[in-house]
Amino acid sequence: MEEISKNSDGTNESLPASDVPPGLTDEQKEAGGYGLYAAGLGFALLLTAASFIVARTHLLWPPGLPVGLAVLAIAQMGVHLVFFLQIGTGPDNTNNVIALAFGVLIVTLIVSGSLWIMAHLNLNMTPASVLMDMRH
């Protein structure tokens, strides 16, 4: 089971099927995947423009604006994961998904731990007025 591919100099080279990059369908392998990247670019530009429009106009209820921007940001991350990093649900992407989940776990632990520490430090700090009274 071998595939024929062209080198950069135009000569044919026989490659085993295991050397084909994962995550692409046969049609995308033939087309080079440029259509997938173009669609991703279109979605990314659309979501970016939508976030700027939402932030500068009154399309959303003002207290709901942060939630709306967060939804657009999460959609933007999804577009980047699917269209540019080509992380999907196929069996060949299992390691990529596990690595992504581990990265998200580590970032979540660092951010939430830092916020927890800062909240407790703020709670346990002596107010400046009490410090001034202790000085006398």
Q: What is the pLDDT of residues 34-84, one digit of tens each?
A: 888 999 999 999 999 999 999 999 999 999 999 999 999 999 999 999 888
Looking at this protein, which amino acid is placed at residue 112?
S
pTM of the predicted protein model: 0.60
User: What does the pLDDT average to over 99-116?
Assistant: 95
pLDDT score for 105: 97
- List, in sequence order, the alpha helices (H) in 21-127: 26-31, 34-56, 65-79, 94-124
Residue spans per domain, the chain: 91-136
